[in-house]
Amino acid sequence: MFTENNFAFRHADGFGRHDFVGDGVLQHAVLMNARFVSKRVISNDGLVGLHGHARDFAQQLTRGIQLFGIDAGRHTEKLLANLQRHDDFFQRRIAGTLWIAALFGKFNWHVTDAFTVSPGIRFNYDEKSGYYSSVVTGTASDGTRQLVLFTGPYANDPWIVDQRGVRAPQFYAPTLAKSNVSYDLNLSYQLDEKLLAFASYAKTFKSGGINLNGVPADNAGVPILAAGTIKPEDVSDYELGLKSQFLDGRATVNLTGFWTVIKNYQANVNNGALGLVRGYLANAGKVQVRGFEAEVSIIPFDGASAYANGTYNDHSYVTFLDAPCPPELSGGNTGTPISAPGTPGGNSPTNCNISGQWLPGISNWSFSWGGEYATPANFAGKEGEVYFGYDASFRSKFSSNASRSLYTDVDGYSLHNFRLGFRTPGGVDFSLWLRNALDQDYFEQLAVTPRRNVSYQVFILV
């Protein structure tokens, strides 16, 4: 059970104009969880188990007040030119239950002393249900305070229409009941004492879910119920590789090729309902990641060690037809025809087809390397060793946005770190470290957000 009071006040202009947004949030939730896990080892080469999980959250209540000034309409979509003052009082109630049950087993079959077959299987059942209810109170253009609705005498009032575009009343009760079977098969063959070949295939599922944060609606305000549930991700993973040791175990070389395909990929998508670009979690289509990796480590002499790892990733959305658009194709009006990127006052698409584009956060090439040297020493009366280490990494260009943008690609970079310290067999470790020793400027993520020249925020958490 938890209660949260959260108040945020923002003023985005230093010239006395009423670009003001105030949010007040009161949340109260009751959460109940129950878990059960049982495993039984039937031999040294297998186990079976049962897993259960139940969760119930009774209610969450959120109240919010928003005030938008005359200039805020320039920067907030759907606050149109005729909107001089917009305020609303918003109430939201959410409740739901979750049940998960799974039966699983894993076994090793030693066909010969060198060849082992390891199958595994998991039977899974998910059941989820809940409801979402939101009530919005706003102001019509004649000053009348009332419920914001899609029907009634004020349904077409311009202020009410704009308020519905920012926050609309809604009720829906999604349910999801899914069962699936995950399985894997691992094959390993000991070619000799220091060389192992392996291959594996795994079919797994990422649990589906229900959207309890509002879904798009049609022009009559009816929730699009198909958006209330998310199907499980269907994941197929293939691997093929070699593991080897040389120089009496002082050198290790591992090589792996991999190919992962995900169907019903879960991601944020956009819907142009009511002319408002609304993001929500849904099944976006299909993605794949394939490539190879190599791992090398060596102990050239006592006290010294070194390593180097490298990975190549070929990654892409195979199909993603209704993705959020990149910044250069966002922020305009929602009419037609679609304007060229960056056209002032132009029209932007409500969603974009990004099939074939990169996945976010993944580089085509990545490497890491380093080493350490340690020698016996005595420090403050304690026996141990002094060590010096070096670690470095490199990654090539990658996209930091779900939809690749010329503004959010991050150029490749390398980082170099050093460490010097003393440690004992008992676990005591003193160290000095220097990270990013070459003072490399780099980004982990780039984002494009609207911002005025002067802004400040105050948050009060109780």
CA pair distance 419, 102, nearest whole angstrom: 46
Write down the pLDDT at residue 414: 97
Nearest to 174 by CA among 216, 217, 210: 210
Write down the pLDDT at residue 222: 75
H/E stretch holding 61 reads strand 46-68
Residue whose tokens read 């939101």: 134
Q: Does residue 257 fall inside a structural domain? A: yes
CB 132 within 8 A of CB 126: no
CA pair distance 152, 141, nearest whole angstrom: 15
The parts of the chain modelled with pLDDT lower than 50 are: 1-27, 65-86, 273-277, 451-462
Write down the pLDDT at residue 20: 39
What does pTM read for this prediction? 0.76
CA pair distance 159, 95, nearest whole angstrom: 31
Could you list the beta-strand ranges (E) of 354-434. Answer: 365-379, 382-395, 398-399, 409-410, 413-423, 429-434
Q: Does residue 366 fall inside a structural domain? A: no
Q: Does residue 318 fall inside a structural domain? A: yes
Structural domain span for residue 278:
2-361+400-408+445-461
Q: Does residue 67 fall inside a structural domain? A: yes
Q: Does residue 440 fall inside a structural domain? A: no
Q: Does residue 430 fall inside a structural domain? A: no
Please tell me the total count of domains within the chain: 1
Sign of the alpha-carbon torsion through 390, 395, 396, 397: negative
Q: Does residue 391 fall inside a structural domain? A: no
CB 398 within 8 A of CB 362: yes
Q: Does residue 384 fall inside a structural domain? A: no
Let me know the angle formed at the C-alpha of 448 by 322 and 394, rounded to the nearest 5 degrees.
Answer: 95
